[in-house]
Amino acid sequence: MASLCPLFAFFLLVCISSPSISQKVTLSLYYETLCPYCADFIVNHLVKVFDGGLTSIVDLRMIPWGNAFIQSDGTFVCQERHFSFIYCMESLALQNRLNEWVNCFETARFGKEPIDCYTSGYGNVLEQKFAAETAQLNPPHRFVPWVLVNNQPIQEDFKNFVSYVCNAYQGTQVPETCKSLPTESNSFQKEIPTSPVCSANKTGNFISSSRAINKSPVINP
């Protein structure tokens, strides 16, 4: 279903950038649209960003490209209404019902403007911008979903992103989600559970793999 990628690109374009708030934590997800493990992360884990007031301290960025290398640039910020469309699409992918994707417009309360972007070819232009940003990651991403908190990759511990966000937040209005985290989530040394991810081989095709490490990644919750 690679032909639907430009449609995902539209929903990242229409997201409106939030006002510059230095205290907000930037949460960036680099992913491949319809990669099953990316879909699982979005549907079953990333959705937590809208629970317990966490979204009030987060600038959520979703870059739908994954393993690609095309020179250009671009970056967009997502809000909950646009996330609901992506959530709907990825949920259908997990259920093997992607042929029902048009119903997601009603679910997300959108008109037909995304179809115009999709059919005009502008979505392909946006894809090139997302590809360029992904290619410029330092360090380069090794798999998807690839999650950054304040531009620092949390690598294999991506499902624990809430702890990283709460730890990175420097403001005074702490959301309930952060207040309720167990104290052991702040441990600097822990075993990170194995999580399946989508890696790419030299041909750019996805390979399913599981990754686990026994100590904390680049930054620690």
Taking only the tens place, the pLDDT of each residue in 16-39 is 334 345 689 999 999 887 788 898
**Higher-scoring residue by pLDDT: 154, 220:** 154
Q: What phi and psi, each to the nearest 5 degrees, are found at residue 197?
A: -135, 170
**Taking Cα atoms as reference points, which of 130, 107, 127 lies closest to residue 7?**
127
pLDDT at 36: 86
Tell me what the mean pLDDT of segment 132-152 comes to: 92
**Mean pLDDT computed over every residue of the chain:** 73
Fold exhibited by the domain 25-178:
Glutaredoxin (3.40.30)
- The burial class, CB within 10 Å (0-12 / 13-18 / 19+), for 119 is exposed
DSSP secondary-structure letter at 140?
P
Taking only the tens place, the pLDDT of each residue in 170-186 is 999 999 999 998 765 44
Question: Using alpha carbons only, what angle is made at residue 77 by residues 59 and 97, rounded to the nearest 5 degrees?
Answer: 105
**Higher-scoring residue by pLDDT: 68, 114:** 114
pTM, two decimals, is 0.70
What are the sequence ranges of the domains in the chain? 25-178
